[in-house]
C-alpha cells in the first residue's frame, strides 16, 4: 500500500486575508521546530514502547526479548508518524523514494535495537525492567534523530541551474 501524501507544505497553505493562517501553518512545518515534533512523537512512541514492554513481560512472560519486540514494533509507528509529521515538509522534495526511506530507516532501527537491547540488559540487572527500557530508549534517541534528519529524510539538493531554467521560462 503506498504511503499517503505528507501534511501540507508551505506552497500548499491557503493564504487568509491577514496572512496569519499562512504564518502559523508555515511555522508548523518548518525545520526550526523539527526537533520539538521529533521529541513529541518520540515521547508518544516511548510511552507505547514501555506499554508494550510491560504487556510482553507481565502478560506474555517474554523476558528480555520483550524489550526488543516492543522496540521493533514501535519503530514502525515511529517511522510513519515522523514521515507524516516531523519531516512532512520534505515529502515532495525528498531525494529518495518512500520505500528507500522506509528501508533506510529500518536499517537504522536494526543498529539501534542492538544498542537499545544492550543497554536494557545491562541496566535491567540493577533496576526494574521499565527503567531499563526507558534508559535504552534514551540511549538511542539523539543518534536516531541525526541519522534520520541527515540521511533518511533528506531534501533533494538544489541544482545551480534551477534558477536559470526558471528565469528562461519566465522570460518567454
* pLDDT one-digit tens code per residue, 115-125: 999 999 999 99
Domain assignment of residue 8, yes or no: no
Q: Give Rg (Cα) of the chain.
A: 20
3-state secondary structure 27-55: HHHCHHHHHHHHHHHHHHHHHHHHHHHHH
Extract the C-alpha cell encoding 8.
Answer: 501540507
pLDDT for 154 equals 80
Domain assignment of residue 28, yes or no: no
pLDDT for 149 equals 86
* pLDDT one-digit tens code per residue, 18-61: 455 455 445 555 557 888 998 999 999 999 999 999 999 999 99
Domain assignment of residue 29, yes or no: no
pLDDT for 150 equals 86
Q: What is the pTM of this model?
A: 0.70
Domain assignment of residue 111, yes or no: yes
Return d(Cα 133, Cα 131) in angstroms, integer.
Answer: 5
pLDDT for 92 equals 54
- Using pLDDT thresholds of 50, 70 and 90, give the confidence band for residue 135: very high
Domain assignment of residue 13, yes or no: no
- Using pLDDT thresholds of 50, 70 and 90, give the confidence band for residue 126: very high
Q: Facing residues of 155 across strands?
A: 94
**Pick from 158, 5, 161, 137: nearest CA to 71:** 137
Total tally of structural domains belonging to the chain = 1
**Residue 136 belongs to what domain range?**
34-156
Domain assignment of residue 126, yes or no: yes
Domain assignment of residue 56, yes or no: yes
Domain assignment of residue 108, yes or no: yes
pLDDT for 15 equals 38
Amino acid at each position: 500500500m503506498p504511503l499517503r501524501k505528507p501534511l501540507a507544505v508551505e506552497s500548499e497553505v491557503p493564504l487568509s486575508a491577514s496572512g496569519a493562517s499562512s504564518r502559523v501553518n508555515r511555522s508548523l512545518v518548518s525545520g526550526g521546530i523539527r526537533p520539538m515534533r521529533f521529541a513529541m512523537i518520540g515521547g508518544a512512541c516511548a510511552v507505547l514502547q514501555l506499554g508494550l514492554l510491560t504487556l510482553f513481560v507481565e502478560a506474555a512472560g517474554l523476558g528480555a526479548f520483550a524489550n526488543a519486540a516492543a522496540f521493533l514494533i514501535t519503530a514502525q509507528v515511529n517511522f510513519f508518524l515522523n514521515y507524516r509529521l516531523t519531516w512532512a515538509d520534505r515529502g515532495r522534495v525528498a531525494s529518495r523514494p518512500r520505500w528507500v526511506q522506509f528501508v533506510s530507516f529500518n536499517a537504522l532501527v536494526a543498529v539501534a535495537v542492538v544498542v537499545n537491547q544492550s543497554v536494557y540488559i545491562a541496566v535491567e540487572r540493577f533496576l526494574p525492567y521499565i527503567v531499563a527500557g526507558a534508559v535504552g530508549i534514551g540511549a538511542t534517541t539523539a543518534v536516531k534523530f541525526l541519522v534520520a534528519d541527515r540521511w533518511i529524510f533528506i531534501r533533494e539538493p538544489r541544482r545551480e541551474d534551477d534558477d536559470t531554467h526558471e528565469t528562461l521560462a519566465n522570460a518567454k
